[in-house]
Amino acid sequence: MKRLCAVLCAVTLLSACTSLPTEGPVNATRAPDGTNQTVGFYANGPREGSTPEEIVYGFLTASAAGLSDDFEVARQFLSPQASEEWRPLEEVRIYADARVPVTTRTETQAVRLSLGAEGSIDPSGRFMMSSSDAVITTDFSLARNADGEWRIIDLDNGLLISATLFESQYSKSELHFLTADSQYLVADLRWFPRTTYASAATRELFEGPSEWLSDAVRTAVPPGTTIGSRGISTTSGTATVSLSDEALSVSGYQRALFMAQIEETLTMLSSIQNVELTVDGVPWEVNQSISLSSYPFTESTMLVNVDGRPSLYENGSAVSLSMTDVPTDLEALTIGYGDNPPMVAIADGSRLVTLPNNGSAPVTLLEGDTIGTPSIDIYDWIWAGSGDTIIAFTAEGDRVRLSASWLDGGTVDSIHVSREGARAVVVWHNETNTYMTTTAIIRDGNGEPVALDGALELGAGVDEVLDVAWIDETTVAALATLPGGSNPGIYAVPIGGPITAITEVNGATSITAGSGQGSLVLATENGQILERSGGGWRLLLTDGSSPALPG
């Protein structure tokens, strides 16, 4: 970051500095939607006789509109040298609409601009959320030009943009990579300007996944592949992507996987329905078509505790499991995938037990006072936390103990493995805070967990997280209490995006979900099981608890 303090032509220059706090409680914000309707914003250049503060505010407005005019107007507020050196997209900092920007003067008479921070985007499109009390503070150095007009001569690289303009100017992108066995797609959430979405998303897909995710996924894109000299063009809903020669090194099924990755990534944009690939203008033929899911298994069968007995609920009726010696005080019921899924629960607050549906008795998999709410993945591995250790089991009792340095002596409250099995959201706490952390799951060729690697923190500073459920490829719903709140609400928490409120709830104790916010099911403290219906809730059961959809 530059610092400049000097006197030129008897004018005090104003120095630049920036601070973005990263600690504190989480806050809910509006999330950008996924549409691609580009809205153009235009700003006026500097007016004659403007004060330094007016120049700074004018620059703020013009730079926010710069995605429409390549920052041409914004640079009019800068000196020629500052204009040449300024790199607006090195970082995008998002400030809150609700908190009015404030300007003050520093000891050197710099104009200091302070704004409420909501988050930031790095050059690769990765979002980092700010805490509710974070403030963006940046100073601008100004001097008079030859015409006697104030111009900014020193400033930080990057763009300042309001949350509302960010919502209209940026679009979310899911870069799609492959699970280790190439059976499913894994989405890596990014944010790109709508005006350059296709080229930015393709470039970053070729660059590879985010660091925290990289060891759990693979890509069929050959190393060194870039967008070719002919670039990307879109006509009548078809995006034609030019590839560099490196793409020629893959063939057969790997070429089909490459195509699946880029198709799923680019067709998130509503203006793109098809993708064609070329090398030097020659079609890059893919001779087989494959369909890979990034959010598999959305069955509707639900496991729920009904009047003290674990039951399967489907089509409006609940049928008790066929099992003997039903444990008392069952909670945290969990069901897996498929026709005969594994099922588990926590009994008496201290035992992780199986829930057979074949007339046999439960088997205890784990005992202890700090067992976290379990999860079952697509490979039928059962996940649970015990203190600061995460353990994966088979129904037969085989186990793998997995450590994570980021747990740092904390206690695991719950685990929620994503549907494709490459990621998990872990809710945990230490003596002072509750955390939601996404981690990557490294597996061997048979799907057995080998290690946890990498971590991305979500919702730091949440006062309490009662439950979490995946609702799509890149989002979990969290039943949580935010700082200053007394009642829990349900919040959509993207894996790399701003939080948004789904709905307030009264008396909710747990949630589960299938696909989308409309699939949410919650349990209340008085025994009601409610299913999301439009903007409200539909009553399913009056004597239930701990509902669980697969996962």
The answer to whether position 143 is within a domain reads yes
pLDDT of residue 461: 54
User: How many C-beta neighbours within 10 Å does residue 98 have?
Assistant: 10
Same domain? For 71 and 39 the reply is yes
Q: Among 189, 185, 226, 192, which residue's Cα sits nearest to residue 207?
A: 226
Return phi, psi of residue 173, to 5°. Answer: -135, 135
Number of domains in the chain: 3
For CA atoms 269, 275, 281, 286, the dihedral sign is positive
Same domain? For 17 and 162 the reply is yes
Alpha-carbon gap, residue 480 to 157, rounded angstroms? 36
Q: Among 533, 475, 441, which residue's Cα sits nearest to residue 179?
A: 441
Q: Quick one: tokens of 512?
A: 């589960």
Averaged pLDDT, groups of 10, the chain, 551 residues long:
30 35 31 42 88 94 87 95 94 87 87 90 92 87 95 94 89 96 96 93 97 96 95 93 94 95 93 93 90 83 93 92 91 93 94 95 91 95 93 90 89 96 95 90 93 85 85 95 81 90 90 94 95 92 95 87
Cα–Cα separations (whole angstroms), residue 64 to 31, 189, 480, 535 = 18, 23, 33, 34
The answer to whether position 157 is within a domain reads yes
Alpha-carbon gap, residue 118 to 26, rounded angstroms? 10
Q: Do 93 and 20 form a contact (C-beta atoms < 8 A)?
A: yes
User: How many C-beta neighbours within 10 Å does residue 27 have?
Assistant: 23
Q: What is the CATH number of the domain that holds 397?
A: 2.120.10.30
Q: Are strands 11-12 and 7-8 parallel, antiparallel or unpaired?
A: antiparallel
- Chosen domain end from 283, 312, 330: 283
pLDDT of residue 460: 55
Q: Quick one: tokens of 151?
A: 């111009």
The answer to whether position 289 is within a domain reads no
- Chosen domain end from 115, 135, 169: 169
- Helix crossing, 197-207 with 252-266: angle to 10°? 140
Same domain? For 420 and 496 the reply is yes
Alpha-carbon gap, residue 551 to 549, rounded angstroms? 6
Same domain? For 312 and 245 the reply is no
Q: What is the CATH number of the domain that holds 204?
A: 3.30.300
Same domain? For 334 and 385 the reply is yes
Instruction: Give the Cα-Cα-Cα angle 205, 215, 391 (nearest 5 degrees).
Output: 135
Instruction: Give the structural domain span for 494.
Output: 302-548
Same domain? For 256 and 337 the reply is no
Alpha-carbon gap, residue 223 to 44, rounded angstroms? 45
Q: Do 512 and 504 form a contact (C-beta atoms < 8 A)?
A: no
Same domain? For 415 and 393 the reply is yes
Same domain? For 165 and 184 the reply is no
Alpha-helical segments (H) within 352-498? none
The answer to whether position 28 is within a domain reads yes
The answer to whether position 294 is within a domain reads no
Residues 6+ apart with CB under 8 A from 84: none
pTM, whole model, 2 decimals? Answer: 0.87
Q: Among 540, 530, 518, which residue's Cα sits nearest to residue 314?
A: 540
Alpha-carbon gap, residue 240 to 278, rounded angstroms? 7
Same domain? For 91 and 185 the reply is no
- DSSP 3-state helix, strand, coil percentages of the chain (rounded to 5)? 15, 40, 45
Element (H, E) at 548: strand 544-548
Give the residues across from 379 on adjacent strands: none
DSSP state of 41: -
The answer to whether position 344 is within a domain reads yes
Q: Quick one: tokens of 265?
A: 């990534």
The answer to whether position 174 is within a domain reads no
Same domain? For 185 and 163 the reply is no
Q: Among 165, 48, 58, which residue's Cα sits nearest to residue 103?
A: 58
Instruction: Give the Cα-Cα-Cα angle 257, 261, 266 (nearest 5 degrees).
Output: 145
The answer to whether position 290 is within a domain reads no
- Chosen domain end from 146, 169, 192: 169
Q: Quick one: tokens of 320?
A: 């008790």
Same domain? For 51 and 141 the reply is yes
Q: Do 254 and 178 form a contact (C-beta atoms < 8 A)?
A: no
Same domain? For 380 and 504 the reply is yes
